Amino acid sequence: MTTYTILIILSGLVIFSYLFDLVASKTKIPSILLLLLLGIGLRFLVDYLKIQTFNFLAILPTLGTVGLILIVFEGSLELKYDIEKNKIIRSAFFSALTILLGTVTIITLIIYQISHASLYTCIANAIPFSVISSAIAIPSAAALGKQNKEFVIYESSFSDILGIIIFNFAITNHSITTSSFIGLGLSTFLIIFLSSIACMVLLYIMGRLVHHIKFFLIISILILVYAIGQSYHLSSLVLILSTGLFLNNADAIQNLWFRTTFLYKNLSSDLSQLYQLSAESAFILRTFFFVIFGFTMNVSELNDKPILMNGFFILATIYAVRFACLKVFKAGAIAPIIYIAPRGLISILLYFNLPDSLKIVQVGTSFLFLVVLGSSIVMTFGLILSKKTGEIPVTTNGL
């Protein structure tokens, strides 16, 4: 395969992804679902033409991690805080926490019935299936009203963060002791402390940089700090979310020393450019990640009836638990929010980060693919149904 052929394929994928976004804005079919189907179609084409390819699974975790960082950062840069939003933030947090814990509990029992592995191993495998993917949920919430959109951004981001915290806790503690919770508390305090410092430093750097290239530097610093934190099993996604929130709300801080030291004339313009760069970079990475994930799937394994049946049980669990918890924590109507519980990028990343000793043969990548695909299909029909019944306002924004 020549260099020019590779360039044609890569640019073609980006163009298709852009067209999928346009289609999504009209039909409410998530562009992620179309990207997965495109990847599957390319796999059939490559196999038919007998074209030699390399192991794309090797680059999938890296693509996904950077994409997750940029998507959460992009979403947080949209959020403006005021005291009236405390209620929606609180309800989104407790909704994310109870849904996550409830879903992990029931899916653990399902996996135990499938595999009869140890309870500890089943819990570790259940966590990736229980986390809402902000990479899919945040773009899909673009067509919702302001309040519902903010709820989805906060809830999916909290779900990612809490999912990573519980996942790291599970794989680093084979037994639950007092010292395990002390370590969890210390690591949580540490990442909050580091996030506070990083927010101040990044804002200070932004105001002092005179080089015409500075936004990729800011993003690179964020990725660097995230990677260092994750290597020590810290929940670094907290840092990404808090940095975006801090930067977009720094002008609301009235302290005189803070305003004279950190705020500067072009901050609003710089934040607009930083948001645009994050959004476009996230778009590119999301495109390649989901096309590659679809490409690496062995679709023939989906003919396995036990996989289909167990996948259905897991999907039913996801929405049953979500319905019950939203009834408690979400003020007002729960539609169309109830349908926005996709599994995707974060689920795939957590699954690939499971140690080999904890992976269960019966719960493989095909099983994961089925849940990712199924949750996207449910969200698609849910959003279409909500649009027809008037629960989603008419908008020209894409998914």
| Global pTM value | 0.85
Six-digit token pair at 123? 């819990």
Q: How far apart are CA 344 and CA 35, in angstroms?
A: 12
Q: How far apart are CA 258 and CA 182, in angstroms?
A: 34
Q: How far apart are CA 361 and CA 240, in angstroms?
A: 34
Q: How far apart are CA 236 and CA 375, in angstroms?
A: 26
* Amino acid residing at 172: T
* Torsion sign across C-alpha atoms 147, 148, 150, 151: positive
The values of phi and psi at residue 174, to 5°, are: -75, -15
Going residue by residue through the chain, which has 399 residues, state the pLDDT in tens, using 9 for 90 and above: 788 988 999 999 999 999 998 887 777 777 888 898 999 999 999 988 888 887 888 888 899 889 889 988 988 888 787 788 888 989 999 999 999 999 999 999 999 999 999 999 999 999 999 999 887 888 888 778 888 888 998 899 899 889 988 998 898 888 778 888 888 888 888 988 999 999 999 999 998 888 888 889 999 999 999 999 888 878 888 889 899 989 999 988 889 999 999 999 889 999 999 999 999 998 999 899 999 988 988 777 777 788 888 889 999 999 999 999 999 988 788 888 999 999 988 899 899 889 989 999 888 888 888 999 899 889 988 888 877 666 665 443 333
With b meaning 16 or more CB within 10 Å and e meaning fewer, what string describes 314-342?
A: bbebbbebbeebbeebbeeebbbbbbbbb
Alpha helices (H) in the chain, listed in sequence order: 3-27, 31-49, 60-76, 86-115, 119-130, 134-140, 146-172, 178-208, 215-231, 237-249, 256-262, 267-296, 305-329, 345-352, 365-388
Q: Is 234 in contact with 186 (CB distance < 8 Å)? A: no
pLDDT value at position 38? 94
Q: How far apart are CA 223 and CA 219, in angstroms?
A: 6
Report whether the peptide linkage leading into residue 336 is cis, meaning its omega lies within 30 degrees of zero: yes
Domain ranges of the chain: 58-288+307-363
Q: Is 274 in contact with 215 (CB distance < 8 Å)? A: yes
Q: Is 343 in contact with 129 (CB distance < 8 Å)? A: yes
58-288+307-363: CATH class? mainly alpha
pLDDT value at position 83? 81
